[in-house]
Amino acid sequence: MSEMTEPTTEFEPRITAFVCNWCTYTGADMAGTSRMQMASNVRIIRLPCTGRIDALFIIKAFERGADGVIVSGCHPADCHYTAGNYHARRRFIVFRELLSFMGISNERVIFSWVSAGEGAKWREVVNETVERVRALGPFTAYHELASRQMVGGAYETEVELPDVREAPAEAGGAS
């Protein structure tokens, strides 16, 4: 956090949301148009369709230290592209089990169908996810795996890496 703001004592989760353009993104817009107040921890990445969401996106988000991930798209039968959400659903049926088996709690990956008219549901998804992840605490374990390797692990050169986690706030110091 910047020098100008008090360091917050409570953990603020960082949540990345991958949403489809036609339903959930529009639903989130609708929440805005209706001035529904919600937690500000979620950052949206807009995609055409949940069918476009590769498991790699979620892996990368966790790798980078996201505390939670939301995936959201059109309800079944409502897909703008008729079937992208069905393919996504099947993909995530498998992927969430895999994540869980790898030890990444399903509590941190939230899937939802939010239609363009469900601004209120979007707010619920956002608020509930933020609260749930806040209760779980930060998820840095994946990110920190970079310092672990068996061979010569203790000899890992500790390059002093710039801690850019502070960078956005620093850049936003003007606020």
Partner 1 sequence: MSAYAFITAEKLAELVADLMESGTRVIAPITTAEGRATYSAIEDLSEATFNQGLPMPSLKGHFLPPNEALLSWRQRGGDIELKPASTQFAPQLVLGARPCDVEALQVVDAVMNWDYHDDLWNGRRAASTIFAMTCAGVDDSCFCTAVGSAPDSARGADALLTELPGGYLIEFTSEKGEAFLGEHGRYFDTASDEAVAAADSLRAETRTRIEQNLVVDTARIGRWIDGHFDDDFWPTLGPRCNGCGACASVCPTCHCFDINDEQTGVGTGVRRRNWDSCQAKKFTVHASGHNPRGDQDARYRQRIAHKFYIYPSKFGDVLCTGCGRCVRACPSNQDLVEILQTIDGLAAVEEGGAA
Partner 2 sequence: MARIGVFVCHCGENISRTVDCSGVAKALADHPGVAVSMDYKYMCSDPGQNLVKQAIEEHALTGVVVAACSPHMHEKTFRRAASQAGLNPFVVEMANVREQCSWVHEAGPATDAKAIDIVRTIVEKVKNNAPLETVRIPLTKRALVIGGGIAGIQAALDIADGGAEVVLVEKEPSIGGHMSQLSETFPTLDCSQCILTPRMVEVYQHPRITLYTHSEIEAVDGYIGNFHVTVRKKARSVDERLCTGCGDCQAACPNRKIPSEFDAELGTRPAIYVPFPQAVPNIPVLDRENCTLFKGRAKGREKDLCGKCKEACLRSAIDYEQQDELIDEKVGAIVIATGFKLYTIGREQPEGLSGYPEYNYGEIPDVISGLQFERLASASGPTGGRIVRPSDGTVPKRVVFLQCIGSRDPEKGISYCSKICCMYAAKHTMLYRHKVHDGQATVFYMDIRTAGKGYEEFVRRAIEEDGADYIRGRVSRMYRDGDTVKVVGYDTLAGEPAILDADMVVLCTAIRPHKGNKNLGRKLSVTYDQYGFISSAHPKLRPVETTTAGVFVAGACMSPSDIPDSIASASAAASKVLGMFSGDELEREPTVAIVNERTCIGCFNCEKVCPYGAIEHIDVCNRDNEICGHVARVLPGVCQGCGTCVATCPSKSVELQGFTDEQIFAEINALLTW
Partner 3 sequence: MTELQDLARKLLEDGTVAVVIGWEEGRRGPRPVSITEPDDTERLVFNARCVHNLATYLDPRRSQVRKLGKPAIVVKGCDTKAVAGLLREAQFKREDVVLIGMHCGGVVTDPAEQTEVTAETVAPRCAGCDVREPHRTDYVLGEARVEPPQNTSIDERVAALDAMTADERFEYWATQMEKCVRCYACRQACPLCVCDVCVADKTVPQWIERAPHARGNMSWHLVRAMHLAGRCVGCGECERACPMDIPLTLLNRKMQQVVAESFEYHVSDDPEVVSPIGAFRDDDHEDFIL
Tokens found for residue 59: 């892996």
> Cβ 122 to partner 3, closest distance in Å?
10
125: partner contacted, choices partner 3, partner 1, partner 2, none (Cβ within 5-8 A by kind) = partner 3
Catalog residues that contact partner 2 under the rule CB under 8 A: 1-2, 4-5, 12, 14, 16, 25-26, 28-33, 35-38, 40, 43-49, 51-54, 57, 60-61, 64-66, 80-84, 87-88, 91, 123, 143, 161, 163-165, 167-169, 171-175
DSSP codes of every residue in 65-87 = T-SEEEEEEPPTT--TTSSHHHH
Which pair of structure tokens corresponds to residue 158?
Answer: 């500790």
Map residues 87-116 to x or -, x wherever contact with partner 1 holds by CB under 8 A.
------------------------------
Quick one: which of 39, 58, 50, 62 has its CA closest to 128? 39
113 scored as a contact of partner 3 (CB under 8 A) = yes
State both tokens at 55.
């498991």
Tell me how far apart the 2 most distant CA atoms of the chain are, in Å.
Answer: 56
Residue 165 near partner 3 by CB under 8 A:
no
Binding mask 156-175 for partner 1 (x = CB under 8 A): xxxxxxx-x--x--------
Q: CA–CA distance from 8 to each of 2, 5, 70, 74 (Å)?
A: 11, 8, 24, 36
Residues near partner 1, by CB under 8 A = 149-162, 164, 167
